[in-house]
Amino acid sequence: MTPATDLDQLALQLTRPGHGILAADESTATIEKRFSSCGIPCTEETRRDYRTLLFTAPRFADVIAGVILYEETLFQKTAEGEPLVRLLERAGVVPGIKVDKGAKPLAGYPGETVTEGLDGLRERLVRYREAGARFTKWRAVIAIGPGLPTSGAVEANAEALARYAALAQEQGFVPIVEPEVLMDGDHDIGRCAAVSETTLRTVFAALARHRVRLEAMILKPNMVVDGTKQPHRSPPETVAAHTLAVLRKTVPAAVPAVAFLSGGQSPEEATRHLDAMNRRGPHPWRLTFSFARALQDDAMRTWAGCAENVARAQDAFARRVAGNALATQGRYDASGKASAA
Ligand code: 13P
């Protein structure tokens, strides 16, 4: 057995019980879309003010162990001139960084993408470390549709994820490995399960090929759910059963933690699903969250870009965060109180 490393410890610290990871790493184009749906202008200042609002919410550091940042935020200062990274560190929250350059059309595979960003990554990682980042994220996107995904696209994405994860560990980061099977489509939960299983098998084969240390990574998968255009909505028990069945078949027990993305589920659905899975524990891995939308939706809408709404938006955010803290322990109940389970 190889001895535990500092990176193994960091992976455990980021996912300790009752804690999770906030994804606040929306690219400028993505946050612009989210802001515009809430009538918020998208400028460097509004992005800074919004992220400051999140990071200074009440009891933030009691639950949020790490925050995934976008490059702009890693080098940004609050209105008072304090680097946002220092603000997090002072609170005991570990800064992380999204390092991929986004999903681009995969040549020869209409309707499919491959995530880019490997060129020059080692050099970027050195800069990110100097700026204070300690963990990284790379998101691969797998679409379900007629004849999709192809094995070519799944393999190209798995290979890139594994090369990224190996580089991140080489440079002293805990990599979050995020293969996201999209919810878009009219497929049912069984099809999502089959595609998620194939995707995770392919990803873990690539991670092994690239000698990635499983103890020092965090898996960030989709939950196994019905497609968004599928009229039937499976209840939380069914989502939990399917997701756990897929994870058990594909994710080695050496992986310390699985931190789910929310992927377009409503905040309440995402929390209930996580809770239902943890009620079925114990599992070989910790099960927690690394949500963006499911943590932020209420807060962003409440803030709406107005200084006078900051306290109310922070309260809305704190409520979501607290609910998910309970869900990591299978103790969430929608009334907002811890249940006795
Ligand atoms: P969502 O929770 O909104 O899916 O975002 C998570 C994430 O980090 C996507 O890369």
The two tokens of residue 99 are: 């390092």
Q: Check residue 301 and give its pLDDT.
A: 98
CA-CA distance, 310 to 144, in Å (whole number)? 39
With CA atoms as reference, report the closest residue to 115 among 98, 140, 137: 140
Q: Check residue 225 and give its pLDDT.
A: 98
Ligand 1 centre and the CA of 281: distance in Å? 24
Average the pLDDT over 328-336 and give the result. Answer: 86
Report whether residue 292 contacts ligand 1, using a CB cutoff of 6 Å: yes
Contacts (Cβ under 8 Å, ≥6 apart) of 270:
223, 260, 262, 289, 291, 294, 324
pLDDT digits (tens, 9 = 90+) for 165-201: 999 999 999 999 999 999 999 999 999 999 999 999 9
Report whether residue 176 contacts ligand 1, using a CB cutoff of 6 Å: no
∠ Cα 116 118 119 (to 5°): 110
Report whether residue 69 contacts ligand 1, using a CB cutoff of 6 Å: no
Q: Is the pLDDT at 338 greater than 90, yes or no?
A: no
3 state DSSP class of 111: coil
Q: Check residue 334 and give its pLDDT.
A: 75
∠ Cα 69 74 76 (to 5°): 120
CA distances from 328 to 252, 273, 292, 321 (A): 20, 10, 16, 11
Question: Band of the pLDDT at 4, cuts 50, 70, 90?
Answer: confident
Average the pLDDT over 273-285 and give the result. Answer: 98
Q: Residues 112, 178, 197, 215: which is the catalytic one?
A: 178
Report whether residue 103 contacts ligand 1, using a CB cutoff of 6 Å: no
Ligand 1 centre and the CA of 261: distance in Å? 5
Q: In the annotation, is 178 catalytic?
A: yes
Ligand 1 centre and the CA of 242: distance in Å? 20
Residue 284 DSSP class: S
Q: Among the atoms of ligand 1, which is closest to the Cα of residue 25?
A: 8
CB atoms within 10 A of CB 211: 11
∠ Cα 149 294 156 (to 5°): 25
Pocket probe mutation, ligand 1, options 21, 273, 293, max atoms within 8 Å of Cβ:
293
Task: Write the class of the CATH domain 4-327.
Answer: alpha beta
Average the pLDDT over 101-115 and give the result. Answer: 98
Report whether residue 23 contacts ligand 1, using a CB cutoff of 6 Å: yes
* Chain center to CA of 189: 21
Question: Band of the pLDDT at 50, cuts 50, 70, 90?
Answer: very high
Pocket probe mutation, ligand 1, options 164, 262, 269, max atoms within 8 Å of Cβ:
262
Instruction: Report yes or no on whether pTM surpasses 0.85.
Output: yes
CA-CA distance, 166 to 187, in Å (whole number)? 34
Q: Among the atoms of ligand 1, which is closest to the Cα of residue 295?
A: 2
Give percent above pLDDT 70 in the chain.
Answer: 97
Q: Check residue 341 and give its pLDDT.
A: 45
The alpha-helical segments, DSSP class H, found in 110-188 are 121-130, 151-170
CA-CA distance, 267 to 64, in Å (whole number)? 16
CA-CA distance, 66 to 316, in Å (whole number)? 19
Q: Check residue 210 and give its pLDDT.
A: 99
- Each domain of the chain, given as residue ranges in start order, spans 4-327
Q: Check residue 191 and give its pLDDT.
A: 98
The alpha-helical segments, DSSP class H, found in the chain are 6-14, 28-36, 44-55, 60-63, 71-74, 84-90, 121-130, 151-170, 189-209, 236-250, 267-279, 293-303, 310-327
Average pLDDT along the chain: 97
Q: In the annotation, is 220 catalytic?
A: yes
pLDDT digits (tens, 9 = 90+) for 123-151: 999 999 999 999 999 999 999 999 999 99
